[in-house]
Structure 1
Amino acid sequence: MFITATVLYLAYNYPWQESYWFWPYTLYEVSGFMSGKKLKFSVGDALQLQYTRGQEEERYYVKVIGFLEHKSLIVTTPRLDGVPMSFREGHLFVARLLSGNSVYGFETSVLRTSLHPYPYLHLVYPAELAHLIVRKAHRAPTDIIASVTNEDPDGEYIENQPTRIRDISTAGLAVSSPQALGKIDDLVTINVKLTVAGIEEYQVLPAVIRNCIASPDPDLDDPQEFRYGLEFQLLEDQQTLVLHGFVNEQLVRQLT
C-alpha cells in the first residue's frame, strides 16, 4: 500500500558559496507521485517516525545507525524528556526520510527493541516508497531571537542555546550563535516565536545542521559568531502553515 502522507522533493541548486546562508536546497512545485524507487540509506540520516493513536498524532525524530537491505533498518530509540521511549514489537509507523535531494515516505514497523549497549530499534526494511515535489521556497531576511537545542543523546552541547535567525524560508533557516550548536548532520530543535497576522505563534521546529562555520571567522561581521544553515525536517501541517504565513508577510514588507 502506497503512503499518502506529504513528503518533499529538494533540488540542490542554490549557490551557497555566495552567501553566509549556506543553504543548498530549493523546494520545487508538486508535479507527481512516484513509487517503487530504491532508497539508499546512510548512517546518520535523520528519520521522522509518525503513528496515530485515536485522534492523536505523534511524531518522533531519530537517526539511522545501520541497516541490512531487505532485512531491517536500525535507528536510535525516540526520547521523551531525555528518556528512551518504549515500543512494542509490531508497532506501526509512517516514516519520512530526506536522502540526497529527495524526501521519501514509507510504512514500517518495529521488529525488535534493545537497550544494550544503548537504546535502539530494528524497523522493517521498506518494500515500497513514495515521494512528491513541492513548490519553490523563498528566503526572507530576519533578525529574530530563538534558542536551539542539539538532540544528541550524549549531551555534548548546551541546551536552549541563544541564537539569532538571520533569514528564514519554509525549507529552513540561517542562524548565528556565540557558541557552537553542533556538527553537520546533527539533529536540533529550534524554539521560536513567530508573529503572523498580529498573533504570536510559539513554534518548536525540528531541523538538521546542513552547513556551518564551525569556528569564529574574521571575515564575518562579528568574528565571534558561529553561523549555521539548518534544514527543517518534515514539519507538521500547522507548522508549515505558520511558516508560510510568516515568510510571506516578511517578503511583502520588503516590497512596501
Structure 2
Amino acid sequence: MTGALPREPAPQLYTFEQMNLQVGTRLQFITHRTLRPIQHFSTVIGWIKDEYLIVKIPMDQGAPIALREGDKITLRVFSGVNVCSFAAVVERVFGRPLLYAHVTFPVEIQGTNLRTAMRVKVDIPAHVKGEEFELSGFLVNLSVSGALLESKRQLPEEAQQVTVQFTLLTEPDKRQVMISTQAAIRNVNGAEGKFAYGLQFIDLDPAHYMMLQNLTYQALIADRQKIV
C-alpha cells in the first residue's frame, strides 16, 4: 500500500466576491509593529466596496490593542471553503466607545482551499476494526478527508478498509461527538514497535465533515504550528 495524504496546496489569487465576506465574520487580525507578527481576533462590521473595510478593534486582556493610522496589518478570513488573507493599512481609528477602524479595501487576496491536504496535529484516542480484527491507537493528525493513526499493534497485511471511531469536541459548547466512518488504508509505516497508518475517509457524514473543517480552520487562524 503506497501513497501519503496530500500536502497543503499552494495559495491562489481570489476576488473579493470569492472571499464570501459577511458582516459579523470572525477574522484574524495580524499586526506587524514588532519583529514577530502578533495575532489577534476581530470581526467584520461592514465595507464600502473599493474604498475601505470596517473592522472591530481587537481586544487584548480586556483592553483594545494600540492601533494607529498608517499601521500595516494582515487580515485572514475563512470563506466557508477557503482561507483567504490580504494586506491592509489602517486608515482611521475610532476609539471608545465605538472601537472600530477603517482599513484599506483588499487589492490582492490570496486563498488556500480547505480540502484533503490540510492536516492538523492532534492526539485523539481512536478505535479501528475490521471483520476479524480490531485495535486501539491515537490519531496524530487529522483532516477533512483522512487521518494518520499510530498504534503499537499491527493491522493484518491484507486489510484494505476499516471502520475508525474517535471523539471530537464541538465548538463553542465543547460537546463530545462520536465519529464513526469507513476508511481506506493508503499507506503503512512501522518502526521500533510502532505502526503508522494513513487513512482516507469514505463517505464521511456531512455534519462530521463540517466539524473537521472547523477544526482545520481554527488551527489556521489560531495556531498554524498545528498545521502539518
TM-score, normalised to structure 2's length? 0.52
Find the partner of 2:221 among 226, 229, 234: 234
For residues 65 and 28 of structure 1, the distance between their equivalents in structure 2, rounded to whole angstroms, comes to 36
Contact 1:106 1:126 in 2 (8 A): yes
* 1: CA distance, partners of 2:93 / 2:74: 18
Q: Secondary structure at the match of 2:226?
A: helix
Q: How does 1:79-228 map to 2 (within 5 A)?
A: 79-133=59-113, 135-137=117-119, 141-142=124-125, 174-175=168-169, 180=173
Quote how far apart the aligned CAs of 1:98 are: 0.7
Report the residue type matching 1:115 in the other structure.
G
The alpha carbon displacement at 1:141 in A equals 3.5
- Equivalent residues of 2:77, 2:83 under 8 A apart: yes
The yes-or-no answer on 1:34 pairing with 2:12 is yes
Partner Cα separation in structure 1 for residue 92 and residue 34 of structure 2? 24
Q: What is the alpha-carbon distance in structure 1 between the residues aligned to residue 61 and residue 141 of structure 2?
A: 28
Aligned counterparts of 2:143 and 2:103: Cα–Cα separation in 1: 28
What is the aligned residue count? 148
Q: Give the partner amino acid of 1:118.
A: L
Instruction: State the partner residue of 1:61.
Output: 41
Cα 1:80–1:73 shift into 2, 3 Å: same
List per-residue Cα deviations over 1:1-50 (Å, max 9, x = no partner): xxxxxxxxxxxxxxxxxxxxxxxxxx974344422523331012111122
Superposed displacement of residue 128, structure 1? 1.1
**TM-aligned CA distance change 1:117 to 1:171, over 3 Å:** farther
Distance 2:70 2:6 in 1: 36
Q: 1:94 to 1:175 in 2, by over 3 A?
A: same
C-alpha spacing 1:168/1:100, structure 2 compared with 1 (3 Å):
farther
CA distance, structure 2, for counterparts of residue 53 and residue 96 of structure 1: 17
Summarize deviations over 1:129-151 as a string: whole Å, max 9, x none.
Answer: 112347153776449xxxxxxxx
Amino acid aligned to 2:168: A
Structure 1 counterpart SS, 2:221: coil
In 2, Cα distance between the equivalents of 1:141 and 1:236?
18
State the structure with more CA Rg: 2
Alpha-carbon separation, structure 2, partners of 1:101 and 1:72: 24
Q: Match of 2:148?
A: none
User: 3-state DSSP class of the match of 1:234?
Assistant: helix
With over 3 angstroms needed to count, the CA separation of the structure-2 counterparts of 1:142 and 1:122, relative to structure 1, is farther
TM-score computed with the length of structure 1 as normaliser = 0.47
Distance, in Å, in 1 between the alignment partners of 2:99 and 2:34 is 27
Cα separation, partners in 2 of 1:82 and 1:29, compared to 1, 3 Å: same
- Distance across 2 between alignment mates of 1:120 and 1:62: 10
Unaligned runs of 5+ in 2: 127-138, 145-166, 175-206, 208-213
